[in-house]
Structure formats: structure tokens, C-alpha cells
Structure 1
């Protein structure tokens, strides 16, 4: 396997493809996409999660969600060297095939409007991870920026139970803290934070408290260290060294085997210095090797996430 093999649990390229129909994932020539197949190959990527994000200006229905899935098929899966990941067996195949695994996730379940039938349809269409909210409240829960900071609704609890039954990973990254604990209490499967950092290093609402990080570790969940500059450091430009501080903090809490990455590429317009697209992941890799053993860095980059996916995706 490529020494720099990498897994990224969050990018928003589908959102850009939805809003700008002229863009090409296979070979973007406009410079408007962070994540392209060429750059994934350059980075040694073996897995990329593609988030379905429906912006606030679009209707909160299944229509833009289904349009995003259509784009995933027409613009991503048609690319030679990409494999649709829906099962643990798909993860096993990409270990030896040299393909890049592509998994669908949903960032904010507003469009389901509380209808679990729509959730089951999304499962059949290959969606394998869902964050119940974006930043605000919806039918299922309060998001991290909702002023009242409430928890899950009755429909939200039913959603958690159905995701557990189906085998859809539950993503806590945008939940309010009370919603996080409600989901942690109700879920019988481990949770992920696809793109969140440590609040103990950078005090931002979108980051996780030490108690939340410990809870994810205790349930054998995963924390996707993200490259969103304002989640990395406050008050100055973000550098690769600042990302490493978050990794160190999670390790100090016992989370060495629970770290992965969730870049948020194509969902951001400012970048950590030297980390503006997948092709620059080598900068982070080299910096980590100055502080950690090669096996540890490989765990951060792909082994931890691979283990989690093998254990938690449906067969």
C-alpha cells in the first residue's frame, strides 16, 4: 500500500457540482475544485467521503438530495479508478485493487422532513453516513449554532434507532452539545465526528469538548481532525503545526486509535497554510513523521478509519 495512503471523511465537492454544473471532478481545469480525481491520486487517497450538503438557499426537500446523488453517479462514479463504497467488503476490495473508494454521506437531514421512509430510500441509494443537523435546528435536533441549544426530538430519537438498524453511520459534527449526548445515549453503534477538532486547543462551538472526545473514544468511535482554519486556531493564520496540536490533544485523552481526517475541502474558502487540497497532504504527513512513528502516522492517515469502516459498515 502507498506509504502516504489517506482517508478523508468529509469534502463538499458535490455541493459545488450541484451549484456549478460546468465543473468536472475527473479533471477540473477551472481551479474551483479542491478535490479532484487527479489530486486524490496525487495524495495516495484510498477513500473519500462525499458529503451531500444542501445550502440554506435551496429547498429543504428530497429533490436537491437526489440531484446530488445523481451528480455523484454521473460525475464521480464514472471516473475510472473510483469504487462506490457501501459495504465492509468494498473497503476490503480497495485495499488491494488500487481504486479510490467513494462513499456518500448526508450533512443535515432537513430534507427528509422526519420521514423514515426517505431515510430507508437513501440507504438503498448508498448513503452510509448522516449528520442529523447542520448548524441550526430542524425536525430532529438542534444544531451547534441554534441559540436554545436543545437536544433530539422524538423523531430524532427514532432516526437514531433506524440508522442503527440499517447500518448508517451517525455523524455528530454539527450537533448541539445536548443533541450529542442524546445521540450518544440512544445509539447502540459507535458515532463519528466527521470534521471537528478539539475545543481544548481551539475554543470554537464546532469543536468537541474533552468529555465528548472521551465519549467517542469509549464507544470506539472516530474523530475526523478537520482543516477548517477557524476550527484549528483563533486569532492568526493556521499552519500544519496547529493541526498537530489537535492530534496531540486527542492522543493525550487516549484517542490515538480514534483519529482520522475530515478535511472539509470544497466547503471552505480559506486554508491552513500548505494544506489547500488533497495534493498537499504530504506536508502534513512529513510534519507528523517528525513527532510520531511511521506506524502511528499511518494509523492517523488511513488505518484507524479503515478498521472502523470494516467493523461498522454493513456486510
Structure 2
């Protein structure tokens, strides 16, 4: 069964540890080519996230991460960069694995929209507006003041509406989420977020937020971060699937998939310790859902969203 995973932080690990090889079975990498191939992952989103160890992130740091992506991941002929809708279809019809380049947090752009356009030219197709804290555009969900968008951030939203870049609200403050709903008309995603009603972590989405994402034809990528699934440990796949059940009960059966956050976590759900273990999710889903539903959650919903929201060419 084919799989699309909406978020991982493998680039951050490759940035921090240049000796790691994406094409080998590296125990330090949750996401590697052998593991993606073994699991049947057809498209993997690779986020450029600058860890808190980088105190003053610059655009040059981002360019280094783009360079790592092209030299260490998208270098092989059997890896296809996903730039447009046709790339999705080409990957689907081949033995290739698609790589979607994304950005997590706008800090390093420093309000320069030319930098945003350069990233678009370089292949970035989705942008997470914040990480947990405030940047020049908006507050993250853990920022104590719980603010929304700055004036420049609202200008950014208008610019993003003109561009074929998918907007990601994972990590965005609650106030920011609702300001985006008022100021941004396109579909958007929460690439790696879960359900607040099942685990009351600030990073998770309220029912009202989930309903808003469904209403605007967006997509929620349920994440494998254990403490976003349940506040008790160990956490199991069945506990993760309660979040899926809840989104479906709200009418989101065609608006939910997975965004693992592999390589951005130091704790794992039992049976989901790396990308090669997606079979365990398939087996658990198959006990409750039909084959067509399982295909939709693992692949079809993300596929449909990408085909509707990526550019036709470019």
C-alpha cells in the first residue's frame, strides 16, 4: 500500500551530522531511503527546521539546508523532487520516491519576501508559519503572550495567496490560526498535529480548528509524537488511531492523513520507531476500516490535496 508522510526532520539531522548517509540504514535516521522503500512511502515531505541550537538563524543557514537536501537526498535518479502536480503523477506511475521540500518556521527570512520567492524557485512548496515561539510574522503556540500575526505577517499571508506555496498551521498560536482564517482564503494544512480533545497539549487542534480546516478543504496530518497522542506512556498505535477516529467523526474522513515528525522526536510510539514500520499502522487500521478507507488515510487524501494545491507547472 502506498504512503504519503507529511512531515519529517531528516534534513535537520543531516545538517547537524554531515557524516550521516540518507541512502544507508543509519540507526540515527528515522527516515532513510531503505526504510521509505521498505514501507512503501511514495512521497515524503522533508522540512527545513532550524533547531534552537542555532541562536540567530539567517537565510544563509536555510540555503545550506537546501544544499543538503539536493546533495544528500534529491541527488539520486530514483528520488524525484515534487515541484508540481505532474511530479506527483510521475512518482505514482514509477518506482521513484517523491521528496517534497518544506520549511518549518519563518524566522530565517527576517521579513524579506524576496527570500520567500527564492525558496519557491528552489523548490519549497509548503511553509509552516512558526515553530513554537514568536517570529517576525506571528506567534507560535507556546509563546506566552498568545498573540496572532504582526502587520508584516498579514502582508505575508497576502503574498502566499498569490504563490503556489501551501500554508501550514502546525505550531501556529490559536489566535494566529483564527486570524489566518479571516485573512487567507486558500486551503491549508496542519502537517503534524493531533486532536486536543484526546490529548490536551497546546500543539493539538480543537474541534473548532479541525472543522475549519475541513471546511476550507484542508488536511490534517496526524503526528507520531507520543506526548501529542496521550499524556501517559508507553503510547500505542491504537491510541494514535483514536485521534483519527475523532477527525472522521467530525466529518474529516477525506481530510486526514499522517505527518510523522520522524527525526524531530526523541520518543516514539511503540511499533512506530522509524519510517520502515508503517506496516504496523496498516495492520491496525485494517481491523477497523475498509481497504479503501485505509488507502485514503495513508495516501489518497494527501494525494488529492497535493494535486489540487500544487502548481500545474513550474
TM-score bracket for this pair, using the shorter chain length: over 0.9
Secondary structure of 2:117's aligned partner: helix
Q: Which residue of 2 aligns with 1:23?
A: 20
Is structure 2 residue 272 aligned with structure 1 residue 275?
Answer: yes
Q: Which residue of 2 aligns with 1:175?
A: 172
Q: Which residue of 2 aligns with 1:35?
A: 31
- 2:124 and 2:165 in contact (8 A); partners too: yes
Q: Compute the displacement of 1:60 (Å).
A: 1.7
2:184 to 184, 187, 191: 187
Q: Deviations over 1:105-161 (max 9, x none)?
A: 100000000111110111001101001110000100000000010001111111111
Unpaired segments of 5 or more residues in structure 1? Answer: none
1:224 to 210, 221, 224: 221
Q: Which residue of 2 aligns with 1:263?
A: 260
1:94 to 91, 102, 106: 91
Q: Compute the displacement of 1:235 (Å).
A: 2.1
CA distance in 2, matches of 1:94, 1:232: 31
- 2:25 and 2:35 in contact (8 A); partners too: no
Q: Which residue of 1 aligns with 2:52?
A: 56
Normalising by structure 2, report the TM-score: 0.98
CA distance in 1, matches of 2:158, 2:260: 28
Q: Compute the displacement of 1:79 (Å).
A: 2.4
Is structure 2 residue 71 aligned with structure 1 residue 74?
Answer: yes
1:147 to 144, 149, 154: 144
Q: Which residue of 2 aligns with 1:129?
A: 126
Q: Compute the displacement of 1:57 (Å).
A: 2.0
Name the stretch that deviates more: 53-62 or 67-76. 53-62
- 1:227 and 1:243 in contact (8 A); partners too: yes
Runs of 4+ more than 2 Å apart: none
Is structure 2 residue 206 aligned with structure 1 residue 206?
Answer: no
Q: Which residue of 2 aligns with 1:116?
A: 113
Q: Deviations over 1:147-188 (max 9, x none)?
A: 010001111111111112111000000000000111122112
Unpaired segments of 5 or more residues in structure 2? Answer: none
CA distance in 2, matches of 1:183, 1:115: 20
Name the stretch that deviates more: 170-179 or 92-101. 92-101
Secondary structure of 2:93's aligned partner: helix
Is structure 2 residue 154 aligned with structure 1 residue 163?
Answer: no
CA distance in 2, matches of 1:293, 1:186: 38
- Counting matched residue pairs gives 311
CA distance in 2, matches of 1:92, 1:158: 33
CA distance in 2, matches of 1:60, 1:184: 28
CA distance in 2, matches of 1:187, 1:98: 37
- 1:184 and 1:191 in contact (8 A); partners too: no
CA distance in 2, matches of 1:160, 1:41: 36
Q: Compute the displacement of 1:276 (Å).
A: 0.8
1:105 to 99, 102, 106: 102
CA distance in 2, matches of 1:28, 1:277: 11
- 2:100 and 2:125 in contact (8 A); partners too: yes
CA distance in 2, matches of 1:64, 1:55: 11
Q: Compute the displacement of 1:71 (Å).
A: 0.4
